[in-house]
Amino acid sequence: MAFIKVYTEKIVENKYPASLACSVHFAVSWEGKPFQSLNQGYGILFAKAAIREDNTIAERGIRNPRLRKAGEEYLIFAEPLDENWNPLEGGGYLVWRTRDFVRFSGEEWMEKIPEAGGQKGTETENFLEIPEELLAGILERWVPLQSVAAEVPAGVRIHKPVELEQVRVKVTYSDGSVDDKPVCWDRESLIPLGDGKYRIAGRIEPVDTGFPLAVGYADPVLLFRGGAWYFLATNDNVNDIGLFVRRADTLEGLFAEDVEEHCILAYNEEKGFCQTFWAPEFHEIGGVLYILFAVGGKQWAPQCHMMRLKEGGEITDASGWEEPVRVCRADGSPLTTDGITLDMTYFKAGDSSYVCWSYRYGIGTPKDTGSMLYIATVDESRPDRLTSEPVLLSRPLYGWENTSGTINNEGPYALILGDTVYLAYSGGDACGYYYVVGYLTASVGRDLLDVGNWTKLPTAVFSSSSIEGIQGPGHNSFFRDEQGRLMIAYHAQEREKYFKRCSAFHRVHLSKSGFPLLNVAGERDVAEALRKVELTFTME
């Protein structure tokens, strides 16, 4: 037998406020075990905020969640709360539908809970029995995976010892997914067994290098180009003034103590480059390297800019870059005249090229709209000018995007896996505990300017609950390391030691169903007990 339960959490100020606690949480129990919280105790279903007539956002929450079975579906009912966390005037219920507790419908509103019709098992309760066959999908999606076995290949035959570097160990995870890991082999442990056979000991190489890698750097992006690695980020250590690039021959070298930083764009009042050199990103567009970033003049109002690498220009040389230009609409007018624009990213899906950015107006006033994600098409030959009208893609309507007065949708960055676009973006406080990463997903072949072709996942996929000791992870990018492993770079804080934002990275794990998980790192990725391995091989 298996059971699923719904509940809300206790409000803990400065850690788990009402915007998070007043959401639908889930727990499961099977084989008589105690209930285990899903999503690491973080809410999964959040009430959607209301948009006032002045385009500002009125938060919403829920209380008293309940479950009911209805044919092939399960219904989740909850009473809505207003922005002061009191019962919403007019009452009613918010309702979500699911068949598997992995995918949920958008919220509906009902005036009252419909009659159960006298069918057994259709009562509205805070827990229900579910078929055990649903458990695998629920656990895969909502419980952190753990590495459970390491399998060394059999029958390995090589011609020279250097070929051992190509041998991989298959690590299996609790959902049945696997990942091939490189190994650092200990040549001194080599033992001949006769008949050309040998045994050697090794250790699976760490798949992440710990936290942090760069103290005081936010919004990190890593690039491999022309046989070298480059690191670009918002530099909080210099009050976000200037763009600075690191170069190294290896990924680890980017974070060596003696690594050199190169200023490629400095403070310049005459040109209007005075503040908020924010969120610089490398992007190759039409075979040309660009940096997309936000900058503003003496009056605070950051706006999206691009600068292009000259033909034959060096990435680390300021003279190798063309003058930055402000991104414009198709008619040459600014993206906005009444707000700020920032965090622009670029991606290509199918035959179309897109930019996505964050726009906000009224910041710091009662008319603050919160930052919103917009998307538009561009031509590769001139990506600084849109070829379509901007389309509103997402607003911070869920509690995990709108926390303690920080109303954010920002930092978009696309990951394309197969035929799916995972547009990662961040919500909450960019400098605090509540910062998180969420996903918007769409099919590659669809029109991505049609908001109906996008799905916003109901909860964050990377938060302060995700990895022990790391708080406020967000504003991420994706890249592949020297081994071809998919990685996430992000900034976060380690409150015990660092109050600055710090950059780090770790591996992205694809679940058995192919979903990109951001919380499989450290001991979860490869347990210490699995890291020591031995290989028997034949030298021909």
Helix (H) or strand (E) holding 135: helix 135-142
Q: Where are the beta strands (DSSP E) in 163-260?
A: 168-173, 178-194, 197-204, 214-215, 217-225, 228-235, 243-248
**In terms of domains, do 296 and 433 share one?**
yes
pLDDT tens readout for residues 384-421: 999 999 999 999 999 999 987 789 999 999 999 999 99
Q: Residue holding tokens 């339960």?
A: 5
309 secondary structure, DSSP code? B
Q: What pLDDT, on the 0 to 100 scale, is given for residue 116?
A: 64
**In terms of domains, do 176 and 69 share one?**
no
Q: Is 443 exposed, middle or buried (0-12, 13-18, 19+ CB in 10 A)?
A: middle
Residue 155 structural domain? 147-206+529-539
In this structure, the number of other CB atoms found within 10 A of the CB of residue 211 comes to 22
Q: What pLDDT, on the 0 to 100 scale, is given for residue 386?
A: 98
**In terms of domains, do 185 and 269 share one?**
no
Q: Choose among 124, 112, 179: nearest CA to 149.
A: 179
81 secondary structure, DSSP code? E
**In terms of domains, do 191 and 102 share one?**
no
Q: What pLDDT, on the 0 to 100 scale, is given for residue 120?
A: 45
Determine the Cα–Cα distance for residues 132 and 2; give it in Å rounded to an integer. Answer: 6
Structure tokens at 60: 């919403």
**In terms of domains, do 191 and 61 share one?**
no
Radius of gyration of the chain (CA): 25
Structure tokens at 464: 């302060």
Determine the Cα–Cα distance for residues 348 and 322; give it in Å rounded to an integer. Answer: 23
**In terms of domains, do 365 and 450 share one?**
yes
**In terms of domains, do 318 and 411 share one?**
yes
**In terms of domains, do 370 and 386 share one?**
yes
How many folded domains does the chain comprise?
A: 3
**In terms of domains, do 387 and 517 share one?**
yes
**In terms of domains, do 186 and 282 share one?**
no
Structure tokens at 487: 């990685």
Helices (runs of H) and strands (runs of E) counted in the chain: 3, 41
Determine the Cα–Cα distance for residues 26 and 6; give it in Å rounded to an integer. Answer: 5
Q: Choose among 464, 415, 407, 462: nearest CA to 441.
A: 415
Q: Which of 142, 160, 185 is the last residue of a domain?
A: 142
Q: What pLDDT, on the 0 to 100 scale, is given for residue 117?
A: 56
Q: Give the type of residue at 290.
A: Y
For residue 212, is the peptide bond before it cis, meaning its omega torsion is within 30 degrees of 0? yes
Q: What pLDDT, on the 0 to 100 scale, is given for residue 205?
A: 79
Q: How many CA atoms lie within 13 A of 262 on its CB side?
A: 16
What is the full DSSP assignment across 378-421? EETTEEEEESS--EEEE---STTTEETTEE--EEEEEEEETTEE
Roughly how many angstroms between the first and final C-alpha of the chain, as a whole number?
Answer: 55
Q: Residue holding tokens 């033992």?
A: 191
Q: For residue 233, what is the domain's CATH number?
A: 2.115.10.20
Where the chain has pLDDT below 70, the residues are 116-124, 206
Question: Residue 160: which residues within 8 A CB-CB, separation 6 or more?
Answer: 539
With H, G, I as helix, E, B as strand and everything else as coil, classify residue 209: coil
Determine the Cα–Cα distance for residues 344 and 356; give it in Å rounded to an integer. Answer: 6
Q: Residue holding tokens 């990109």?
A: 516
Q: Choose among 232, 256, 362: nearest CA to 307.
A: 232
Q: For the whole model, what pTM was predicted?
A: 0.95
- Please give the backbone phi and psi of residue 320, each rounded to the nearest 5 degrees, phi first: -80, -5
- Please give the backbone phi and psi of residue 94, each rounded to the nearest 5 degrees, phi first: -90, 140
**In terms of domains, do 443 and 407 share one?**
yes
* CB 426 within 8 Å of CB 490: no
What is the full DSSP assignment across 454-500? -EE-SS-SB-TTTSTT-EEEEEEEEEE-TT--EEEEEEEEETTTEEE
Determine the Cα–Cα distance for residues 343 and 303; give it in Å rounded to an integer. Answer: 9
**In terms of domains, do 129 and 191 share one?**
no
